Structure 1
Amino acid sequence: MVTIYDIAKQANVSAMTVSKVINNTGKISEKTRARIKKIMEEMNYVPNSMARSLVLQETKMLSLLIPDITNPFFTTVARGAEDAAMRLGYKLLFGNSDESLTKEKEYVDMVLSTRVDGVLFSAASDESAPHLQTLRTHRIPFVLLDRAVPGIDCDTVSGDSREGARKLVEHLIGLGHRRIAMVNGSLAVSTARERLAGYREALKLSDIPEDDSLVLEMNYKHFTDETALRRLLTMPQPPTAVFAGNNFLAVGLIRKLLEFGVRVPEEMSVVCFDDLGASVIDPFFTVVSQPAYQFGAMGIQLLIERIKGVTTPEWKKIVLPSELIVRGSSGKPSAI
């Protein structure tokens, strides 16, 4: 393995001079700097990042922890985060908690052992608070992404889930729907609570009575309650539209509706939060779309500013806007 001492000997300079070239510090003539870099390339020298991190007290590595890498929203978030990290001179380690607190803790332990400079963190649930406190105890900066965690004050990048939900339900109301169901994620996740609040707000603004029997709670990753859906469809006054709390719930919902012989949107309109991404050739869902790429990119920017101490002491709260995109999954109730 080639060391800085081998480079120094070949270049006829001190090891300290080679170190300054590697770390881009100190006053060295451009001619000497270029000569040393050329020798490093010829000898295939790879800097020892661990030793460098011990000297500089930084690893130039960040971690991104998200709850579901298979969800197109988080896939795009990850791409935005990686692009921003690379552009700013950092490497990015990925972790996927699968909405599991146990798996999330394992990744936090990994973060501690690898000595990353900071973490962009999208929490599995409200119960993620101890994991974030662990990072804080070890003085590892973090930025919360998409989901808030009660009791944790920090920099955040999020969307306006409440407003986006209200837009979707108001769209359905504008089409003539009055019996609107909601299939939501776990209320232990902040975005699920906010989307439920937006759903209720839209109903209230249109003087439509709330009916708790129309609201189903399950996991964001899967549509899991077939029995509850059957109950909705066999009510004396069944819903004519459903608002799904995220894209995965919407896909599972429509599959079940088709199994039950319910046509979308002819017999049931379906709208959802978050788009399905570029993989969908023929977009179908009426959605509220969030700028997922910007979530990741701005989260990394904010994290690096916190690491370098160039931001203000006050926590920054960035809220990104959403966009209502009307497509084929929503239409007027069949009776209209």
Structure 2
Amino acid sequence: MVTIYDIAKQANVSAMTVSKVINNTGKISEKTRVRIKKIMEEMNYVPNSMARSLVLQETKMLSLLIPDITNPFFTTVARGAEDAAMRLGYKLLFGNSDESLSKEKEYVDMVLSTRVDGVLFSAASDLSGPHLETLRRHKIPFVLLDRYVPGIDCDMVSGDSKEGARKLVEHLIAQGHRRIAVINGSLTVSTARERLAGYREALKLNDIPADDELILEMNYKQFADEAALRRLLELPEPPTAVFAGNNFIAVGLIRKLLELGIRVPDQMSVVCFDDLGASVIDPFFTVVSQPAYQFGAMGIQLLIDRIKGATTPEWKRVVLPSELIIRGSSSAPESKRA
């Protein structure tokens, strides 16, 4: 394998001079720079990125840690992050925690061993704080994505989960629904708490009493609790609509409803947070859609700005707007139809 010493010998210069050309540092005449680069090309020299990182104290590598790569929202986030990183001269390592704190810790350990320059981090839960403190203790910059973690002050890119949830529930109320259930993610995740707050606020603004029997908490990865669904449907006043905390919950819910012979939206309206994106050819769900690609792209930009010291000492919080998209999964309840 060709080394910088081979290049230096051929160019009749010092290895330090070759290193400066490779790293684009120091004062070297343009004539010498061009000559060394030509010799590097002729000898098919490939720079050693690890050695370069030791010289420059940077690896040009970033890490993206997300809770569920199979969720179309996070898949699109990852695409936006990768595109932005590549455009800005960085490579991106992906990690998928599966909403698991233990798996998240393994990825944090990997980040420390691979010497990445920074981490774009979507936390598994409120209990991710020690993992972020580990990064901070090792002076690895990070930006939080989508979910905040109590007690952690840092740069962040998020959506307005409370406002988005309120839009969805008010849409159902405008259609005539008064018994609206919510099937949500774990309340140890900030977005789930915010979406529940938006649900409650919409009811309050429309003088509809909140009923705790209509509120189910599970996880964002799926909906498979048929017993809980049956309890909802067997209430003296069952719901006529359901607000699902995310797209995965909504898909699982509709499958269960169909198994039970309940038609959507004829007998039960279903709305959800986050779209299914390109994974669905014929969009069906009424959703609040977030600009997932921008989450990733803006998160990477914030992270690189922080790495390079190109931002103010104050932490930055970017809140991206959501959009209500009305489709076929919601309609007026049967009692309101002409």
For 1:183-219, what per-residue CA distance to the aligned partner results, in whole angstroms no more than 9, with x for missing partners? Answer: 0000000000000000000000000000010011001
Structure 1 unpaired stretches of 5+: none
Cα-Cα RMSD: 1.0
Structure 2 unpaired stretches of 5+: none
Please state whether the residue corresponding to 2:334 is helix, strand or coil: coil
2:75 matched residue in structure 1: 75
Rounded Cα–Cα distance in structure 2 between residues aligned with 1:203 and 1:292? 28
1:133 matched residue in structure 2: 133
2:163 matched residue in structure 1: 163
Report the CA distance between 1:152 and its aligned residue: 0.6
Mapped contact 2:181–2:239 kept (Cα < 8 A): yes
For 1:111-147, what per-residue CA distance to the aligned partner results, in whole angstroms no more than 9, with x for missing partners? Answer: 1111111110000000101101111111111100000
Rounded Cα–Cα distance in structure 1 between residues aligned with 2:46 and 2:202? 58
2:296 matched residue in structure 1: 296
2:244 matched residue in structure 1: 244
2:253 matched residue in structure 1: 253
For 1:276-319, what per-residue CA distance to the aligned partner results, in whole angstroms no more than 9, with x for missing partners? Answer: 01121100000000000110111011011111111111110110
Matched, 1:61 2:75: no
1:85 matched residue in structure 2: 85
2:11 matched residue in structure 1: 11
Please state whether the residue corresponding to 2:183 is helix, strand or coil: strand
2:95 matched residue in structure 1: 95
Query: Counterparts of 1:174-193 in structure 2 under 5 Å?
Result: 174-193=174-193
Runs of 4+ in 1 over 6 A off after TM superposition: none
Matched, 1:322 2:289: no
Please state whether the residue corresponding to 2:152 is helix, strand or coil: coil
1:32 matched residue in structure 2: 32
Mapped contact 2:224–2:253 kept (Cα < 8 A): no
Report the CA distance between 1:96 and its aligned residue: 0.3
Rounded Cα–Cα distance in structure 2 between residues aligned with 1:239 and 1:197? 19
Rounded Cα–Cα distance in structure 2 between residues aligned with 1:280 and 1:30? 54
1:113 matched residue in structure 2: 113
1:151 matched residue in structure 2: 151
Mapped contact 1:220–1:248 kept (Cα < 8 A): yes
Mapped contact 1:120–1:303 kept (Cα < 8 A): yes
Matched, 1:122 2:118: no
Rounded Cα–Cα distance in structure 1 between residues aligned with 2:332 and 2:42? 69
Report the CA distance between 1:24 and its aligned residue: 1.3
Rounded Cα–Cα distance in structure 2 between residues aligned with 1:262 and 1:30? 75
Please state whether the residue corresponding to 2:95 is helix, strand or coil: strand
Rounded Cα–Cα distance in structure 1 between residues aligned with 2:38 and 2:280? 47
Rounded Cα–Cα distance in structure 2 between residues aligned with 1:310 and 1:38? 34
Instruction: Give the aligned length.
Output: 336
For 1:258-286, what per-residue CA distance to the aligned partner results, in whole angstroms no more than 9, with x for missing partners? Answer: 00000001111100000001121100000
1:222 matched residue in structure 2: 222
Tell me the TM-score normalised to structure 2 length.
Answer: 0.97
